A and B are shown apart, each in its own frame.
Chain A
Amino acid sequence: MKRIAIVVVVLLGVVGASLAVGAGNQIDTLRKAAIDREPEAPAIAQVENNDIRRKRAYPMQPPTIPHKIDGYQVDLKVNRCMACHSRHRTEASQAPMVSVTHFMDRDGNFLAEISARRYFCQQCHVPQTNARPLLANDFHDIDDLLRASQSPSQQH
């Protein structure tokens, strides 16, 4: 009995100490609230539907989708995206055609129709919302890097 009591006291001590250390560190979580409080949920972000194409961060980046895609069915039966983005639909829809890479199989051969590995568009392409980023993004694209290497004095 006595031994159990000692173990409990020691454990409590350890827990208390670690809590104190945690509080001292002020670990910044994205949660922004004490562990025992339920923070208010942020408002649901709105999907951008302004049809303005965004800049790509690097040439191989799948472009983000500049329109909403609510209710667009993509399954075995039908691919709604291809009703606008396929080669033979672009005239009627005035949407950009999927690029040639979408017709390539994994050995680099060009197929007649969209390749199976590019069928489910949202694996790579996503719409954007007006949500404010929780953390700043310090990504530098290739132009920044080249400029930086050319004029080392102006490094940021």
Chain B
Amino acid sequence: MKAFLRKYWRVITSPSRYYSLGFLTLGGFTMGIIFWGGFNTAMEFTNTETFCVSCHENIYDELQQTIHFTNRSGVRAICSSCHVPHDWTDKIARKMQASKEVWAWVTGSISTPEKFEARRLALAQHEWARLKANDSLECRNCHEFSYMDFTRQSPRAVNMHSTALASGDKTCIDCHKGIAHRLPDMSDVHGF
């Protein structure tokens, strides 16, 4: 075993006999790009709606009935606009958590509509906590408070936005729960 390892160690460390240094460097460079590209492509794919919907089909049906699917402006929010941070480091962290999701899928915590309904409040609470902690970052990626024209909002909206939101007491998700999906049983949730 030791001899075997030593032999390979020598092969790896000794200079190349057949390929030029230039070729090796270039080759390594190319492979690097290919791997990095593949990694990126995989990341891009996991951000597509098709990917999310493969496990969250019922959620997609609900989204289609909301303002974030069709509206007068024609701007669409897809799953990852609200659920995956655009920041790269956050993205990785989110993917690490997502691998837990894959495992949960294997264990089937939401594999039937009944199981999903039973688990739904807990999942929603994860999202509310996350959005509360990052001050509704994902919402603000599209809706920037500084550019809200109060003269063009409805009085109800202005009353809330110019007070609790402007002062920072509340963030979007405190008031706008259920903006993209049906809500779970809310009887124990603050604000209902």
A82 CA to B184 CA in the complex, in Å?
15
- A122 interface residue, CB < 8 Å from B? no
Residues of A within 8 A of B185 (CB): 76-78
Flag B172-192 by CB within 8 Å of A: 1 or 0 each.
000000110011111100011
On whether A78 and B192 interact (CB within 8 A), knowing A70-B67, A73-B183, the answer reads: yes
Q: How far is the CB of A75 from chain B (nearest CB, A)?
A: 8
CB–CB A51/B154 < 8 A: yes
With a cutoff of 8 Å between Cβ atoms, the chain A residues found around residue B192 in the complex are 78, 82-83
Measured CB to CB, the nearest residue on chain B to A49 is B154
Whole-angstrom CA separation of A78 from B155 in the bound complex = 25
How distant is the Cα of A71 from the Cα of B180 in the complex, in angstroms?
9
Q: Which of A50, A83, A89 lies in contact with B155, CB distance below 8 A?
A: A50
Chain B interface, DSSP helix/strand/loop, else mixed: loop
A78 to B159: give the CA distance in the assembly, Å: 24
Q: Tell me the chain B residues, 47-75 only, with Cβ under 8 Å from chain A.
A: 65-67
Nearest residue in A to B178 (C-beta to C-beta)? A73
Restricting to B2-19, which residues have a CB under 8 Å from any CB of A? Answer: none
Which residues in chain A, 70-95, are within 8 Å of chain B measured between CB atoms? 70-71, 73, 76-78, 80, 82-83, 89, 92, 94
Contact A51 B186 (CB under 8 A): no
Does A118 sit at the interface, judged by CB under 8 A? no
Chain A interface secondary structure, helix, strand, loop or mixed? loop
A67 within 8 A of B: yes
Within 8 Å by CB of A71, from B66, B156, B159, B191, lies B66
Question: Measured between C-beta atoms, what is the minimum distance from A3 to chain B in Å?
Answer: 60
Known: A77-B186, A78-B183, A94-B159. A83 touches B154 (CB 8 A): no
A73 contacts which of B164, B182, B187 (Cβ < 8 Å)? B182
Interface centre among B154, B186, B192 (most CB of A within 10 A): B192
A70-B67, A82-B192, A83-B191 are contacts. A77–B155 as well, Cβ < 8 Å? no
CB distance from B63 to the nearest CB of A (A): 11
Q: Is the CB of B155 within 8 A of A71?
A: no
With A51-B154, A67-B154, A71-B67 as given contacts, are A80 and B178 in contact (CB-CB < 8 Å)? yes
